[in-house]
Each structure stands twice: as C-alpha cells, then as structure tokens.
Amino acid sequence: MEALAAAVLVGVGVTAGMSAIGSMSQTEIRMRESEKLSHLAHMKLDEIIALGDGANTATDGDFEEYGEPNYGFTVDVQPSGIDSLDTILVTAKKSNGDTTSQEARATGLLFTPPETTE
C-alpha cells in the first residue's frame, strides 16, 4: 500500500514538474520574441535618425533587409512643437496578420536643420 502511495506521489510530482517546464519554455519564447521586436524597432529608429530625413521615410514596411521578412514596422513622424524637431515613433510587430501578436515601440527625436536662404 505504501509503495502504491509513493508511486502516485512521484507520478503527481513528475507531472507537475513537466508542466512547469513547459510553461517556462513558453515564457522564454515570448521573451525572446519581445526582445527581437524591440531590437528591430530600435534598429529602424537608428536608421531613420542616421539618414536624417524623417519626412521622406516610408511609413511602413518589413525588415527583409535585416533578414527578418516575417516582421513589419510602421513609422509615425509628428512635429514635436519645437521648430526643426520631430518626434518619431517606430512600431515593430510580426507581420503574419495575428492580432494577438506582440509589438515593440521605439521613440526618438529627429532634428532637421532649417533651410538657409542666402
């Protein structure tokens, strides 16, 4: 009888342990996805700032040039209220049409020197 009780307890323990491992794996997958999206959003923001031309930036696209064709981005450029300074918001998300997928955002400022007339 005691052996049967011990076997049941071991079975319950193993089942609980395996369930916990599966849950941790899913959490790790979500965290890696979140990290990748954040990295892609910041890379696109850095690219826009480096080129220095927020007004002529594509408002959406994908990250195929970074080797990630399954991820897309949107760019929103808004005046900041200060002359020659725009606020840029880059949103990156998986472009498989899944409305429940994660997204990451990166925000920055872009200074555009005023045109000088001589």
Side-chain-side CA neighbours of 28 within 13 Å: the count stands at: 6
Per-residue model confidence (pLDDT) at position 98: 63
Average confidence score pLDDT of the chain? 85
Q: Find where tokens 């080797």 sit.
A: 67
Per-residue model confidence (pLDDT) at position 71: 92
Per-residue model confidence (pLDDT) at position 2: 79
Per-residue model confidence (pLDDT) at position 27: 83
Which segments in the chain show pLDDT lower than 70? Answer: 97-100, 118
Q: For residue range 95-104, what is the model confidence (pLDDT) as tens digits?
A: 776 656 789 9
Long-range CB pairs of 46-51 (<8 Å, 24+ gap) are 48/75, 48/88, 48/90, 48/108, 48/110, 49/88, 49/108, 49/110
Q: Find where tokens 């009780």 sit.
A: 5
